[in-house]
Amino acid sequence: MTKFLPAIALPAAPVFVPSSDESLLSAELLAGIRSRAAGYDQANAFFTEDLEALVAAGYLRALVPIEFGGLGLTLQQIMREQTRLAAHAPATALAVNMHLVWTGVARGLHAQGDRSLDFLLDEAGRGEIFGFGVSEPGNDLVLFGSQTDARPTPEGGYRFTGTKVFTSLSPAWTRLGTLGLDSTDPSDPAIVWAFLEKADAGIRSKDDWNTLGMRASQSESTVLDGALARPDRVVRRLPVGPNGDPLVAGIFANFEILLSAVYTGIGRRALELAVAGAHRRTSLKNDGRTHAQDPVARWRVGDLVIAMDGIYPQIDALARAVDELSFTVGPAWFAQLSGLKYRATQNAKFVVDTAVQVAGGQAYNTTSELSRLYRDVLAGFFHPSDADSAHATAAASVLGPIDLRTP
């Protein structure tokens, strides 16, 4: 059972989202990022200038402890920053998330006395960018299984052969955290976690990213053809199937929380655009007054405020629990994390949908920011944990596992 969720105060949105004066991301930097988002989307281009600006601000070193050359921020702090960044450019925030997940995992392990990813903190502090090579076509086991072959080498390393999909930051990452299946001993198969260097042979990014939304993330497929992980970059050999290893638990927590922050940022921006739309649109039925004075529009906007206010404290509480190590790994913990991701993405989709109604026909134009958010938010359905997995995990946390014995 988890132990970290006492009664909590419900912070208002301004408390959750720091002002530009308190933020690592200045208002000027964010304005520049927003100004480029539509162009990246239209051209299906990588966010090169955004990344340069974020690197210059130290953003990719945010979660790296100070002793490793980082800024020493907490997950709670960077989660709030990601919400702000996503409100300005969702695809940029989503792609950067993957690097932040790895630095967050390494930071958490280091805090627990586990030094297995200290090399990652050192390299991230020196400017290396980490990609997240986990998802595979048809692999719904995600962290607990793999279709990629991990073949041990005599020196203690592994060679990986397989295809990873949705590898965000494809044009920029220099290191790839990945997993594969070592089946050399059929009686003892194992999931191997390791890190690859892009400059080495056997790694190729496919030019196959042409999607409905989140286009600037350039999450191309990555083909591994005997790609070598050196022995000092092999960090885990775990049993196939669910387990509570600190590495796996750390990946799950950081991924779900930071992903929820990105989609909450989309919802935050959609609410802002709904308010602007309500003030802009006028109604002949209401004597030319704006929709901000229309009872139906006001009810819809009120619904959006309620929806957004409800999600902020949930993300905050879970991020704080990770920072404080005040949780117990188990069914309830995984259910809370997967439930948060499901709730945050569904909530963002509802807010965007309703904001389009409030803003009116202008939002249907491809040049509309809401039109882009409408496409971007759909990506939330495809990230783990999906709806089926989240509900199964939640049910198992209170009902126990399904009994597969023959009646």
So what's the architecture of 132-239 in CATH?
Beta Barrel (2.40)
Q: Where in the chain is the domain with CATH 1.10.540.10?
A: 27-128
Query: 214: closest CA among 173, 266, 256, 273?
Result: 266
Please tell me the predicted confidence (pLDDT) of residue 11: 37
**Can you state the angle between helices 75-88 and 90-111, rounded to 10 degrees?**
170
Please tell me the predicted confidence (pLDDT) of residue 3: 39
d(CA 173, CA 2): 35
Mean per-residue pLDDT, 127-156: 95
Q: Is the pLDDT of residue 103 over 90?
A: yes
Q: What is the dihedral of CA 358, 361, 366, 371, to 10 degrees?
A: 20
Q: Which CATH class is domain 246-399?
A: mainly alpha
In tens, the pLDDT along 164-193 reads 999 999 999 999 999 999 999 999 999 999
In tens, the pLDDT along 1-20 reads 333 333 333 333 334 444 44
Side-chain half-sphere exposure of 55, counting CA atoms within 13 A: 15
Q: Is the pLDDT of residue 156 over 90?
A: yes
In tens, the pLDDT along 199-240 reads 999 999 999 999 999 999 999 999 999 999 999 999 999 999
Please tell me the predicted confidence (pLDDT) of residue 406: 61
User: 389 or 404: whose pLDDT is higher?
Assistant: 389
- Collapsing DSSP states into helix, strand and coil, what is residue 221? strand
Task: Specify whether the CB–CB gap between 386 and 135 falls below 8 A.
Answer: no
In tens, the pLDDT along 39-56 reads 999 999 999 999 999 999
Query: 110: closest CA among 256, 255, 317, 250?
Result: 250
Please tell me the predicted confidence (pLDDT) of residue 243: 87
Q: Where in the chain is the domain with CATH 1.20.140.10?
A: 246-399
Q: What is the pTM of this model?
A: 0.92
Please tell me the predicted confidence (pLDDT) of residue 407: 62
Mean per-residue pLDDT, 125-132: 98
Mean per-residue pLDDT, 274-302: 86
d(CA 38, CA 42): 6
Sequence letter at residue 316 = D
Q: Is the pLDDT of residue 72 over 60?
A: yes
27-128: CATH superfamily? Acyl-CoA dehydrogenase/oxidase, N-terminal domain (1.10.540.10)
d(CA 276, CA 292): 9
Q: Where in the chain is the domain with CATH 2.40.110.10?
A: 132-239
Please tell me the predicted confidence (pLDDT) of residue 401: 87
Residue 281: pLDDT band with limits 50, 70, 90: confident
Please tell me the predicted confidence (pLDDT) of residue 18: 41
Task: Specify whether the CB–CB gap between 215 and 41 falls below 8 A.
Answer: yes
For the chain, what is the radius of gyration of the CA atoms? 22
